[in-house]
Structure 1
Amino acid sequence: MKIKFYFTLVFTSIFLSVNAQKINSVKIDSLFAEFKKNSFYGNVSPAKKELENYQKDIIPELIKLLKDTTFSKLTGTADLIYPGTTTFYGRGEYLPYNIDWISIRSGWLLEDLTFQDFGYKNIDVTDETLMKLSEENYNDYIKKGSYELDWKNKTIEERTAQYRKNISLNAKKWWKENGKKWNRISAIKEALESNNENRLSNVFQYLRFGESKSDNLTVEIFNNEIKPIIVSLKKTSKFPEIQEQIESILVETVNSKILDLSRVQ
């Protein structure tokens, strides 16, 4: 009788697990459909935030989408500033990825999720660029409250199909080598030890302002395993912006939104 009861529990557990996986798969597919739509604040941004919570489960699909050549011009961007921006309102959220292209949009999510630097960030759009735009078009801005931007140097237009293929292959190779052992806590540590300014900037933004969780991350793990790396980095980092981030997080501590509440006792 005990054996029969045991097997019943095992099969029930397996059934529930498989069913949960199917539900997750359907939800992820639905979110990716939203992520590929046009409205930034209506579809893309909310879908990205939810997709990040699935962490490792979405990476294979992101790797596939890096080869997608679809151009999906964003709408509903409000005052978002990115390489596809056509109107600048003198303010706004700054996103250095040309996410009109599905491949770049997927690279944006992949880099934010993994804290890797595959090369999808558009380094041509900088604070200096925006300041120059403000100075050159100030009179126009005063009159209209906005002014048109002519993005003559759109990085995505300059990148050849071969270049996009190369960086997608690099990401695919990285996942093949690291997929089995990858988790977000390890990714955080690796980025903090990378000496790569883009990766460091991403990981500090996440630790301070992220809205998606890291499985198994607790305050204790942050204090015992991650914070010591940050303290050590404070002594060695030569990037002024990163030093500012370090000082801030050591005062503020980790953002509670990224913690795995299921691990809190």
Structure 2
Amino acid sequence: MKQIFIIGLMIITVNSCFGQKAKVDSLLTEFKKKSFYGNVYPAKQELENYQKIIIPELIKLLKDTSFVKLTNTADLIYPGSTTFYGHGHYIPYDMDWVSVRSGWLLEEITFQDFNYKNSAVNDETLLKLMKENYNDYLEKGTYDLDWKNKTSNQKNREYRKILSKNVEKWWKENKKNWSRISAIKEALNSNNENRLSNVFQYLRYGDSKCDKMTKEVYDIEIKPIIISLKETTEYSEIQQQIKLLLNSSISSKIVDSKNSR
């Protein structure tokens, strides 16, 4: 009887693994499609919930050299945009390249700065664009985006090969003990503005899982780091993020209710 139970348990486990792999493969296929709001973004949201499990698959995707021009972007602003509506969701990653999409999601999950972010256009340059071209905007209802200092595709491919190798090296060194909670703590102690910005956006607005992130863990292990950072960080934007977070609380969607008391 005991043997039958063990065999049954093994079958359930195997089926569960196959089911999870099929789901992940399906999401990765969606993630590589054209429609940003129809396929890419919904897949990104689900893939992020897999946390550590999905990291090796995303690292493999860093080697993908496919160029898939995004469609259905609405008012999304990213380095492949040609039109700016005066407002919108800003993602500073050249997501027409599948490898960069993967880099974007990896940085969102791990709170690392792997250098996939493109800072050619930021809030300051968008504001300048709006001021200087307001009359054109009144006439057309949009602004034309001109992305400066874009490097050739060949140079970008070579550069991304280097980035992917750096990520592989990082994962080889860190995969054994990596968790999303440890990643949050590391980012908060990093003094890297990109990493700090990502982690505060997640703590305030995140809606993907963070295993073992209970209210108690936040209060005891993470909040003290944030309070300490308030006294030491040189970045004004991060100071503002700290103030806003400490005056409210972390996003309820990232709290692990299964492990909460």
Superposition TM-score tier, normalisation by shorter sequence: over 0.9
Query: Where does residue 130 of structure 1 map in the other structure?
Result: 126
Work out which of the residue numbers 66, 73, 97 in structure 1 matches 2:69.
Answer: 73
Unaligned 5+ segments in structure 1 are none
2:201 is aligned with 1:205? yes
2:175 is aligned with 1:179? yes
Indicate if the aligned counterparts of 1:98 and 1:104 stay in contact, CA closer than 8 A.
yes
Unaligned 5+ segments in structure 2 are none
Pairwise CA distance, 1:11: 3.2
Indicate if the aligned counterparts of 1:96 and 1:122 stay in contact, CA closer than 8 A.
yes
Q: What are the equivalent positions in structure 2 for 1:241-256 lying under 5 Å apart?
A: 241-256=237-252
Distance 1:24 1:205 in 2: 28
Distance 1:158 1:121 in 2: 18
2:218 is aligned with 1:222? yes
Distance 1:44 1:67 in 2: 18
Q: Secondary structure at the match of 1:160?
A: helix
2:95 is aligned with 1:99? yes
Q: What are the equivalent positions in structure 2 for 1:222-241 lying under 5 Å apart?
A: 222-241=218-237
Pairwise CA distance, 1:263: 1.5
Query: Where does residue 32 of structure 2 map in the other structure?
Result: 36
Pairwise CA distance, 1:253: 1.3
Q: Is 169-178 or 16-25 further displaced after alignment?
A: 16-25
Closer/same/farther in 2, CA of residues 27 and 46 from structure 1, 3 Å limit: same
How big is each residue's C-alpha offset from its partner over 1:99-158, in whole Å with a ceiling of 9 and x where there is no partner?
000011100000000000010000221112111211222111011111322324335748
Pairwise CA distance, 1:180: 1.6
Indicate if the aligned counterparts of 1:122 and 1:155 stay in contact, CA closer than 8 A.
no
Q: RMSD across aligned C-alpha pairs, in angstroms? A: 1.5
Which letter maps to 2:44?
K
Q: Is 153-162 or 121-130 further displaced after alignment?
A: 153-162
Distance 2:148 2:190 in 1: 33
Q: What are the equivalent positions in structure 2 for 1:83-122 lying under 5 Å apart?
A: 83-122=79-118
Distance 2:64 2:73 in 1: 22
Q: What are the equivalent positions in structure 2 for 1:30-69 lying under 5 Å apart?
A: 30-69=26-65
Closer/same/farther in 2, CA of residues 158 and 80 from structure 1, 3 Å limit: farther
Pairwise CA distance, 1:240: 0.5
Closer/same/farther in 2, CA of residues 10 and 155 from structure 1, 3 Å limit: farther
Pairwise CA distance, 1:8: 3.7
Closer/same/farther in 2, CA of residues 8 and 156 from structure 1, 3 Å limit: farther
How big is each residue's C-alpha offset from its partner over 1:233-264, in whole Å with a ceiling of 9 and x where there is no partner?
11111111101111111111111101122213
Indicate if the aligned counterparts of 1:98 and 1:156 stay in contact, CA closer than 8 A.
no
Indicate if the aligned counterparts of 2:83 and 2:143 stay in contact, CA closer than 8 A.
yes
Aligned length: 261
Distance 2:170 2:252 in 1: 30
Pairwise CA distance, 1:216: 1.4
Indicate if the aligned counterparts of 2:130 and 2:143 stay in contact, CA closer than 8 A.
no
Q: Is 126-135 or 229-238 further displaced after alignment?
A: 126-135
Query: Where does residue 19 of structure 1 map in the other structure?
Result: 15
Pairwise CA distance, 1:61: 1.0
Which letter maps to 2:130?
S
Distance 1:17 1:113 in 2: 26
Q: Is 144-153 or 37-46 further displaced after alignment?
A: 144-153
TM-score (normalised: structure 2): 0.96
